[in-house]
Structure 1
Amino acid sequence: MDRPRFRLAFLHPRFWLLWFGIGLLWLVIQLPYRVLLVLGRWLGRLMYRVIKSRRHIVMRNLALCFPEWSANERERLAQENFASMGIAFFEMAISWWWPKQRLSRLAHVQGLEHLRQAQAEGQGVILLALHFTTLEIGAALLGHWHTIDGMYREHKNPVFDYIQRRGRERHNSDATAIEREDVRTMLKVLRAGRAIWYAPDQDYGRRQSLFVPFFGVPAATITATTKFALLGKARVIPFTQERLADGSGYRLVLHPPLEDFPGETEVADCRRINQWTEQIVLRYPEQYLWAHRRFKTRPEGEPSLYGHQEQV
């Protein structure tokens, strides 16, 4: 995919409000990092009160995944989760616009040897990532240490799409943005020995998915990780990022490559990925993206789990 280019059409009056908002956000993120954390938590509290539809989804997901918790425990986690989403709004901006030297000071990286060994052996790598609220800044910080490619879906607003792609791609001068449906390019890049950021932990519909448990609830789990690893002859290296509670930045961890992957069946692989996801989510559940309808697609004959009349 070609690099994003500025076009005069972006100056059309219908985009002026967006440009104003982008400029204001750029000014705000010049503040110290710890101040932005506080502002993000305030924004998250406002979101929790105002965005009732997303609050319903978060609470429903928590009720499904943690039925043994009390209602108060789930509500406290939901509030912390919205605070994390508020912080993520500013993390997105600082990952796009902070000078690289300033941004890199936030990174505490572990396990780079796994990625470098694969590169030295000419082996493609699937960076098995997860949809945490820190995913934007986590990918940006890792890009300071190693070139990574990524799956990409074009945004409907062309100005925002330009700003987003330019901000993301500045961390990797030779990175490739791959359309999410472009399987051929994905495999070509893997066979060339490159590393691709890939997160399979969301509901992408019934097509090419299997139902395996996620926190005990049948969840449509995409089988593409198995196919990409097999056809791309790639190693699967789990990658996680965590926002540190002391305000010092982020712990990025490249875990050892998954052994014996792909396994005997796609079902076994999907189950293994979901079990690993559960383990990571339990370490810092407030940072996971619970606002996604993870259980939107149901097995045949089962009702929706997110109906507006449902009690959580």
Structure 2
Amino acid sequence: MERLGYFAMVALLRLFSILPYGLVGRLGSALGTLLYALPSSRKHIVHVNLRLCFPGKSDAEYEALARDHFRHVIRSYVERGVQWFGSEKAIRKLVQIESKIDLEDKNAPPTIFLGFHFVSIEVGCILYSTHSPAASLYTRMSNERMGELAKRQRGRFGAEMIERSTSAKKIIGLLRSGVPVMLAADMDHGVHNSVFVPFFGVPACTLTSVSRLARLARARVVPFVTEVLPNYRGYKLTVFEPFADFPSESDTLDARRTNEFLETQIRKFPEQYYWVHRRFKNRPPGMPGVY
């Protein structure tokens, strides 16, 4: 039964990849509205995160923001069709690029492209891999078959997919050889190699891997954000200037700076950040759980 469900889902995603993008996006938004009306643990997590990060809003404002977010999250799952199975031409057509650096520079220094978990992060990573060889870190999924599908489709334009638990030695080797590495470090992956620093004023367990990799590989850290454009016009990939004086001598300070940058970006379109994740899963000693 599980195998049948998998093949049905793949067939559906392939269908979505050939339907008009606007139609697929509207379908995803409608499905998100429908699912938001049902009680769920993810809905609870969204509300907890929003109340922690944006205190002082009214119940109606939290409700509206949470509903918009659910629409975007479910829509992003539906749009995996074009992201995983769409042609290179189709993806390039959907994504606008605004970059502060030369993405075609063959003499660029070792580069870590630092992404953040906005709902459309995948399409930004996939688009970059159509321009230049790259490596991308991923987290293993609990569903092995789905994980293999995601890994294969995300890397189908030549990106080397590297599991997050891989030895740092391999990642550093790629960076030093001139292959950019794309990663995100804004989720709670446990207290190992992490520090507690503020995220919207709330202590958040934040990875320090970006600083350590950049220091060892002498790499610049270039943040990027992919946003969903209004009126079903596709996406926009914004590549920013490299972080100045990064890494510093303090991993904690670097993690704090990264969170501050992310907060600035989230405020531009808060409904698109991945609030369904338990960002405050781990808490500093003595602080109670929030979920």
Instruction: Establish whether TM, by shorter chain, passes 0.5.
Output: yes
Q: Larger Rg: 1 or 2?
A: 1
Q: Equivalents in 1 of 2:133, 2:63: separation in Å?
A: 39
Distance 1:70 1:14, change over 3 A: closer
Cross-structure match for 1:132: 118
Q: Equivalents in 2 of 1:154, 1:293: separation in Å?
A: 17
Cross-structure match for 1:286: 271
Q: Which amino acid aligns with 1:287?
A: Q
Q: Equivalents in 1 of 2:165, 2:186: separation in Å?
A: 17
Following superposition of structure 1 onto structure 2, how do residues 257-296 of structure 1 map, counting pairs within 5 Å?
Answer: 257-296=242-281
Following superposition of structure 1 onto structure 2, how do residues 134-283 of structure 1 map, counting pairs within 5 Å?
Answer: 134-172=120-158, 175-182=159-166, 183-283=168-268
Query: 1:148: Cα distance to partner?
Result: 2.2
Q: Equivalents in 2 of 1:270, 1:147: separation in Å?
A: 27
Cross-structure match for 1:10: none
Cross-structure match for 2:21: 33
Residues 21-64 of structure 1: per-residue CA shift (max 9 Å, x gap): 21133223322111111101011112212351000000000000
Select the residue among 22, 27, 40 that pairs with 1:52. Answer: 40
Q: Which amino acid aligns with 2:279?
A: R
Q: Equivalents in 2 of 1:85, 1:256: separation in Å?
A: 28
Instruction: Give yes or no for contact 2:226–2:237 (8 Å, CA) kept in 1.
Output: yes
Structure 2: segments with no counterpart, 5+ residues: none
Query: 1:156: Cα distance to partner?
Result: 4.0
Instruction: Give yes or no for contact 2:13–2:82 (8 Å, CA) kept in 1.
Output: no
Q: Which amino acid aligns with 1:268?
A: L
Kindly indicate whether residue 107 of structure 2 is the aligned counterpart of residue 120 of structure 1: yes
Q: Count how many residue pairs are aligned between Structure 1 and Structure 2.
A: 290
Instruction: Give yes or no for contact 1:178–1:185 (8 Å, CA) kept in 2.
Output: no
TM-score (norm 2): 0.94
Select the residue among 48, 61, 66 that pairs with 2:54. Answer: 66
Instruction: Give yes or no for contact 1:91–1:134 (8 Å, CA) kept in 2.
Output: no
Distance 1:111 1:28, change over 3 A: closer
Query: 1:160: Cα distance to partner?
Result: 2.2
Distance 1:158 1:255, change over 3 A: same
1:29 counterpart SS class: helix
Instruction: Give yes or no for contact 1:127–1:237 (8 Å, CA) kept in 2.
Output: yes
273-282 or 106-115, which deviates more = 106-115
Structure 1: segments with no counterpart, 5+ residues: 1-12, 307-312
Residues 147-187 of structure 1: per-residue CA shift (max 9 Å, x gap): 22111233344432332222111122xx3211211112111
Query: 1:96: Cα distance to partner?
Result: 1.1
Query: 1:116: Cα distance to partner?
Result: 3.6
Query: 1:202: Cα distance to partner?
Result: 0.7
Q: Equivalents in 1 of 2:5, 2:283: separation in Å?
A: 40
TM-score (norm 1): 0.88
Residues 169-228 of structure 1: per-residue CA shift (max 9 Å, x gap): 1122xx321121111211111111111111111111111111111001011111111101
